[in-house]
Amino acid sequence: MADLFFAAVFFIAVYVVGVAVARLMPGKTADPLLAPVLGFAGWSSAVTLLYLSGLSLRLAALLVLAAATTALLVPVRRRKPRTTRDPLAASLAVAMLLVALAPGLSGGEAFRVFHGNDQDQLNYLSFASAYGRLGHDEIAAAGHAGLLANNALAGAQKMLEGRPAVSLSLAAFASLTRQSLAEISYAYLACLQALLGFAAAFMLRGLTASPRLAILGGMAFALGFFGQFALDLDAWSQLAAMAVATAGLGLLLRFGFRAPLPAGLLLASLLLLYPEGVALYGTAAVPLVLRRLRASPWKAASGLLLIIATAGLLVSPLLFRLISYVIRQSGVGGDDEAGWARHFFAFLFGRDGGAFDPLSNKLDTAGLISGLGHSSVNVLAGLMGLYPLTGGAMISSMALGVFLCLLIAAPFIGRHGARAQRLCLTLASGAVFCLLSLAWGHPYVAGKAWLLLSPVLLGVLLLPLLQPRQPGFWRMAAWLYLAFQLAFGLWRPVAATAPDGIAYPPPYPSLPLAKAAVDWSIQEHKPDFARCRLIELDLQSSTLDRYLQTVLTEWGMAWYSARPIATDYTNPKSVTLGMQKPPGTPDCLAADTLPGSDKGPARLIWLGRSSALDDFTSGLNDRLDILALPLALRGLHAAETYQNAPLRWTDGRASLLLPLPPDHDSFTVDIALWPVRAPGTYLELRINGVDHFNGVLPDGPWQERYDVPAPDGTLRIEILSSTFQPEGDPRRLGVSLQHLSVTAQ
């Protein structure tokens, strides 16, 4: 219900703003498909400019809505536009949003937290949290002490000089709904995904598609491969910019420069959301501009200048910031770019990939030709958004190749109108940008550019469906493509149920290992955190550390991190600000590795992943073999074998803080030692602060059983002993554990 509530607020707000903006347009351009995208462009631009001028985001959001509502109430003398009322088209639009939201419900928090790019996802989320809580001047003026207090603040401060619009937009919506950002971040991305569908549908509508076909095409793009991939990049700015830019291209296709004010707003929003994309979309729009200038030079030139002037006026307070940011971004990547490209875009070469790895180094012409010849079917399928069909047997690959040939040839069979021809030229111009980026050794830039062009590709591939006289054979290829994309979108909620990521075969970008390592269901632990006065975070996973900091901050809970705070948690070369000073004595510890018993908090909130330990703490098993846990245990050396049985040496100061199942307050601890130790070994065994053995161990095997209470839900075991160092062994050895287990009573 939280997702549905947020989505309702999102689309009501952007639709109101969009309809208000549409009143500035020619009569026939008050299109319900364009209104949500126009509204988001106006919303993101306005809240960004108002926040940077010193207003709080809540006040900025209320002012934008008040201004839009006032504009709707002011009578305007104009010819009422004719709009097509199609209940089925409206139902399909609602269905598109519901299907976009569904994976977040079926996959749960472990799916929602991030997809293929944990770094960008957690950065955008934490920045939005910072902007929602603190004003612009407070963030901009934050010194060392402020940055040290929250490791998201340094990035939020830096992003103020770049493109904070997409995070500011989420924080502004959250200020209206009063929801936690971590709770609604996926719903926000799903709404941006749905905006992609509206933008693509508007573009198709401009190509004379019927309302129903336009909505189906928009659904196929937003929910199909390209829409899913754009969301799985976790690049919020790019996802939002794709919708805005696609709507802008559709506006140019349909009206040229006869709607300069809305077009200028879309351009300004693109500059604020994703200024790097202006180079690609500017290149792609060159054929549209040239054709308009050739047909009507003075009228087109004046309209173009008015669009640029409108955008420039709107972003003028940030113009120098944007220029500086784009210059800085042009130098980002370097040696890391090949790795980024390999992670995100290796799918372009199919599931098997063969021996050819074009992303490992900068491509030369010979290498490119060799690679394309080796995996041409896979490459074409990847470029067309048909990656899931690759990796089959030879016969299926041949069938896929035939289908690809039909799909690519179909748009060029028969005659098309002027708008369709301009769309093809737009795709060709953008493709030149991609090829030049690839030739200059920037595969990551080329891959992102092709993704940004994918809505135009969709429009070109669906052109046969817009020609009633097109032979059915060619139309069938376009219908099959459309059906596949829709089916892939309907499969997404099922794929989201995979426990450790997205259930798509590699090399589709996902991070199953990062998700398998820790427990991401932080919302389920909220009652545990709510009982804490101060929470210490001791987390090896820097991503979980950032996520938990953001969530706890949103919940208003006190915490501090036991790990060093850096200016950029994702970059090992970033500046380390130091260690946070505990504001008091913590009573809870959140950890993803079992800590030693010397940790101060009385209660452990376990966020690691171990099937045996998870089954024990959840009550599925009442007995836990501690020595068999595949976890690093404080003070224990690696497992060995002795007399065909396991043995683990202590280093003289073994300690363990163990989470326990909540429905028990009494446990039995069984411990057994091998008779392999130095003569006269001294042992002190302490459980939950109580000495259970304190003295010299007798010769031979030694084992004991202790019944211990554990009312606070944790068990502290300390095994302290004298040590010795065998000849030729660099380790200090204490006692040799044969068995150590805990049983719930």
Low-confidence ranges of the chain (pLDDT < 70): 24-30, 75-86, 329-336, 352-374, 392-395, 414, 416, 468-471, 570-573
Tokens linked to 153: 């603040």
Give me the helix-helix angle, 35-52 and 2-22, nearest 10°.
Answer: 90
- Please check whether residue 338 is in contact with residue 360, taking contact to mean a CB–CB distance below 8 angstroms: yes
Distance CA 297, CA 299 (A): 6
- Please check whether residue 381 is in contact with residue 404, taking contact to mean a CB–CB distance below 8 angstroms: yes
Residue 396 confidence (pLDDT): 73
3-state secondary structure 203-270: HHHCCCCCHHHHHHHHHHHHHCHHHHHHHHCCCHHHHHHHHHHHHHHHHHHHHCCCCHHHHHHHHHHH
Distance CA 501, CA 61 (A): 35
Consecutive H or E run containing 328: helix 319-330
Tokens linked to 102: 């569904």
Burial (CB count within 10 angstroms: exposed 0-12, middle 13-18, buried 19+), residue 694: exposed
Side-chain-facing half-sphere of 151: CA atoms under 13 Å: 30
- Please check whether residue 520 is in contact with residue 110, taking contact to mean a CB–CB distance below 8 angstroms: yes
Name the pTM for this structure: 0.90
Is residue 730 classed as helix, strand or coil in its secondary structure?
A: coil
Place of tokens 């009442």: 622
Distance CA 708, CA 687 (A): 8
Distance CA 533, CA 588 (A): 8
Residue 246 confidence (pLDDT): 94
Tokens linked to 581: 């000073």
Residue 219 confidence (pLDDT): 93
Q: What are the strands, taking DSSP E only, across 400-542? A: 535-538
Please state whether beta strands 535-538 and 559-561 pair in parallel, antiparallel, or not at all (unpaired): parallel
Tell me the chain's radius of gyration from C-alpha atoms.
30
Residue 221 confidence (pLDDT): 94
Residue 600 confidence (pLDDT): 73
Q: How many CB atoms lie within 10 A of CB 385?
A: 25
Tokens linked to 689: 């602060």
Residue 469 confidence (pLDDT): 66
Distance CA 73, CA 20 (A): 9
Place of tokens 């300069």: 260
* Burial 501-527, CB ≥16 within 10 A → b, else e: bbbbeebbbbbeebbebbbbebeebee
* Interior angle at CA 328, CA 326 and CA 329, nearest 5: 65
- Please check whether residue 515 is in contact with residue 539, taking contact to mean a CB–CB distance below 8 angstroms: no
How far lies 643's CA from each of 649, 724, 738, in Å?
15, 22, 11
Tokens linked to 454: 């994918």
Residue 361 confidence (pLDDT): 47
- Please check whether residue 439 is in contact with residue 363, taking contact to mean a CB–CB distance below 8 angstroms: yes
Residue 658 bridge partners (DSSP): 715
State the amino acid at position 589 in one-letter form. Answer: L
Distance CA 78, CA 75 (A): 9
